[in-house]
Structure 1
Amino acid sequence: MRILLLPLLLPLLLCGCVWDGTEDSPEFLPLDDSQYPYADLPRIVIETEGFKEIRERETEIPSHLQIYGENAPESPVFSLTVRGRGNSSFKMPKYGMKLEFDEKISLFGMPENRDWALVGNFGDKTHLRNFMMTRLSEWLMARYTPRCRYVEVFLNRKYVGLYLLSETVKVGKARVNIAKNDSSFLFEKESSKKQDSPFITTSMGYSFHVKNPRDLKPESADMLLSHLNEFEYFLQHGSARSGKETYEWIDMYDFLRYYWVQEFSKNEDGIFARSIFMTWQKGGLLHFGPLWDFDISFGNESYKKNRPADGWYIRNYHWFNYIMKDPGVRKAVRDYWFENRDIFHSLVDSVPLYVSNISRALENEYRRWPIMENTENWALKDPYKDYDEALDSLVLWMEARYEWINNALK
């Protein structure tokens, strides 16, 4: 057993002591990496109170967290609460976690905040899809893209795998930068099977979880609902009866960016299923974004074979279907692709670099979770003999999708 500690703690080791301080206020957390050695990534070490298991998404468990480098801790021990996170992904053997620190902290140079997420990516055998979405979003100059960093996680003295430590989608100056008042809204499209309070349901039957204002008053809920119902009336009846054009309802720059990242990747949640974030402030336009949750995309599917050359995807569903009926929108969509298609292809070209950054951690990950040939989970439909085959499948899918879009828009 190898426990990595700061040099000044070495005498404690010689005495056989792995804790200093009390359990409520430890000075360091032990790390045994004998089976899963350092892999060029930060290690996040978490211990829950009484080593309690994380069994649900609601209960916040008091915990401690410390960041390790190669040979020693690189942070103090932080106090926080930990709970499960994710929708269907929380039911997977390797699940995500929501971290809420007692105080605002900066992690790996990212702006200070209390709220962070550990995304497990168990349903993506390449571990690249969510990360690639953030690269594409930033390159296309989105208003806000959640910052993230690959890390390895040890929970209650056990290795649990390769994760993305990510900012959560919330209102703040360094995150979704809108006013914190009763007429500024951040909201998320939800599945009909899961509706988090507070939520509203529009005239077309779509439910949205309202994340800002945090203390949603009835009059504010009515304000947002009324605006979305008016927008849906426009979608169904057009400008002739509503007196407005599409660009008077939605911010077209945000829509074009948002649409194309979803369409290029054929993101399964992007067909107006869930994890679709929007903002609206009274008197302003509807903004799509930020982008989030792309593990079931780029050829990774949960229920059917949606091949890259099988046609358009996002534009065939719900609000997007109505928006795309506008000839002006269709022209703007086409122009945006040809103006930015080199950026989309750069994502394909960047895959080898992204893999090289996590290659050693992937060895640890698949030693802990040997799932390459597994097809039992709903998100693990395709078996692969090894990681290289999974990666080749992803790259070939992206290349084929890129070529199909080019040809379809000629």
Structure 2
Amino acid sequence: MRIFPWIMLAACAIFCSGCLWENTESSMDDVSYLPLDDSEYPYADIPRVVIETENFKDIRNRETLVPARLQIYGKDSPESEILELTVRGRGNSTYHTPKYGLKLEFTEKTSLLGMPKNRDWALLSKYGDKTLIRDYMMTRLANWLGAPFTPRMQFVEVYLNREYKGVFMLSETIKFSKKRINLAQNDSNFLFEKEDSKKVDDPFFETLDGNLIHIQEPKRVSEENIQVAKAHLDSFETYLHRQDFWGEDSIENWLNIHDFLVYYWIQEFAKNEDGKFTRSVFFYWTRGGQIHFGPLWDFDLGFGNESRKQYSMPENWFIRNYRWNRFILMDYRMSKRAKEYWEDHRETFHALIDSIPLYKKQIEKAAKNEFKRWPILDNAFLWALRHSYDSHDEAVDSMTVWMEKRFQWIEDNL
């Protein structure tokens, strides 16, 4: 990566502080910085990601790749050179909101904010999460519990085409890669995502139990290998229905139990609505090996933020009542292992609650910018905005109280 001369950085800092952006022609001119006007939304102690698309073209679908340039700013000046990439929309439900996510694909493998190099990155909008920290909390807990891979995420503020867009999570995407899911991209390794009928990406198949499964890896999977994957998951569902997990054909031949328990308990603790085997549930499999649940993803509808009142109450079992989870945990030995797992890790789960003030502090200033740009704290008009708050503090405090109640309910009902 080219290092900016310190003189140029200083000049950029002076020029960009409160600049007016008078030139609205093409953003792809040969310049050494992308202008940033932060006079209305001042620096908030987290990095700023500045993106300009070719001819300021709008990004409003998930298919069209729009050429763009990106630069990362610190407090007073750029902290990266200008990077070439393409940008498109991303997300499921949040894709249809005013503040939508972005998929970034660089021309070369690129390290962002110290995270390992890759071409593929995501900017997660967090529009449905008034605390802004639910996904980040999930990544902390998953790492503490030893999940094999959890996407690294960092808080950033985004400027797109010279317009402030708010607080996002800059995140690694889920894929096979040496620094992500460390499996080779070949015809023996499969990465699956459980989807639903609202949005099913090709290639996909439907299992015997009616689960819609998208094959994310291999990228260009043959019809023959689609049938190989379908046959294996069909056989797994047939096995689950037999409810004979501990004979000669042990469930450990089919399922990595450690990874399942990490996945299960984080989903259950959060009562994550998508985690009830609805969508955004990832798992991977190597021919001849076990099914591994994970990586964990998408917790906007968790930790008390569910779209339906009966889901958002801190009481009652949730994840274990649905689909594969139900069959797996119906077995008394698996249920016993799940109970023991909670008992062995209960302090780790409570540590997440204790750490909330640290995460809140990271974005305290940025949250003021966010809700100035998107004044939705007291609105309850969207599927994920059911709760009304007077402030960001109140939103975080409400979630904290919910998590304390959830923790105690699990303790009392193991």
> What is the TM-score with the length of structure 1 in the denominator?
0.94
Report deviation, 1:18.
7.6
Question: Which amino acid in 2 is paired with 1:123?
Answer: G
Report deviation, 1:180.
1.6
Match of residue 9, structure 2, among 6, 17, 21: 6
Determine what percentage of the aligned residue pairs are the same residue: 51
3-state SS in 2 of match to 1:99? strand
Structure 2: distance between partners of 1:194 and 1:34:
40
- Residues 308 and 404 of structure 1 are in contact (CA less than 8 Å); yes or no, is this contact kept in structure 2? no
3-state SS in 2 of match to 1:362? helix
Q: 1:256 is matched with which residue?
A: 261
- Residues 234 and 241 of structure 1 are in contact (CA less than 8 Å); yes or no, is this contact kept in structure 2? no
Report deviation, 1:242.
9.2
**Which structure 1 residue ranges, 4+ long, deviate > 3 Å from structure 2?**
8-13, 16-19, 240-243
3-state SS in 1 of match to 2:28? coil
Q: Classify 1:394/1:222 alpha carbon distance in 2 versus 1 (closer, same or farther; 3 Å).
A: same
Q: 1:67 is matched with which residue?
A: 72
Report deviation, 1:54.
1.1
Match of residue 98, structure 2, among 82, 93, 105: 93
Structure 2: distance between partners of 1:202 and 1:172:
27
Report deviation, 1:245.
2.6
Question: Which amino acid in 1 is paired with 2:296?
Answer: L
- Residues 374 and 383 of structure 1 are in contact (CA less than 8 Å); yes or no, is this contact kept in structure 2? yes
Structure 2: distance between partners of 1:10 and 1:120:
27
- Asked if 1:395 is matched to 2:390, the reply is no
Aligned counterparts, 1:2-401, within 5 A: 6-9=9-12, 23-239=28-244, 244-401=249-406
1:370-402: per-residue Cα shift (whole Å, max 9, x none)? Answer: 111111111100111112221111000000000
Q: Cα RMSD between the aligned structures? A: 2.2
Structure 1: distance between partners of 2:12 and 2:301:
45
3-state SS in 1 of match to 2:274? helix
Q: Classify 1:309/1:29 alpha carbon distance in 2 versus 1 (closer, same or farther; 3 Å).
A: closer
Report deviation, 1:322.
0.6
Question: Which amino acid in 1 is paired with 2:88?
Answer: R
3-state SS in 1 of match to 2:307? coil
Report deviation, 1:11.
9.6
- Residues 184 and 282 of structure 1 are in contact (CA less than 8 Å); yes or no, is this contact kept in structure 2? yes
3-state SS in 2 of match to 1:102? strand
Q: Classify 1:12/1:375 alpha carbon distance in 2 versus 1 (closer, same or farther; 3 Å).
A: closer
Worse overlay, 262-271 or 170-179: 170-179
Q: Classify 1:35/1:259 alpha carbon distance in 2 versus 1 (closer, same or farther; 3 Å).
A: same
Q: Classify 1:138/1:240 alpha carbon distance in 2 versus 1 (closer, same or farther; 3 Å).
A: closer
Count of aligned positions: 405
Structure 2: distance between partners of 1:180 and 1:66:
30
1:164-210: per-residue Cα shift (whole Å, max 9, x none)? Answer: 00000011010011122101101100012211001121111111111
Question: Which amino acid in 1 is paired with 2:195?
Answer: E
- Residues 27 and 54 of structure 2 are in contact (CA less than 8 Å); yes or no, is this contact kept in structure 1? no
- Residues 78 and 101 of structure 1 are in contact (CA less than 8 Å); yes or no, is this contact kept in structure 2? yes
Q: Classify 1:389/1:183 alpha carbon distance in 2 versus 1 (closer, same or farther; 3 Å).
A: same
Q: Classify 1:125/1:9 alpha carbon distance in 2 versus 1 (closer, same or farther; 3 Å).
A: closer
Worse overlay, 299-308 or 34-43: 299-308
Structure 2: distance between partners of 1:310 and 1:150:
31
Question: Which amino acid in 2 is paired with 1:7?
Answer: A
Structure 1: distance between partners of 2:388 and 2:282:
32
Report deviation, 1:308.
4.3
Q: Classify 1:145/1:233 alpha carbon distance in 2 versus 1 (closer, same or farther; 3 Å).
A: same
Structure 2: segments with no counterpart, 5+ residues: 1-7
Structure 1: distance between partners of 2:48 and 2:198:
35
Report deviation, 1:219.
1.6
1:14-64: per-residue Cα shift (whole Å, max 9, x none)? Answer: xx9988x98254321110000000010111000111111111111110001
Worse overlay, 206-215 or 342-351: 206-215
Structure 2: distance between partners of 1:383 and 1:309:
18
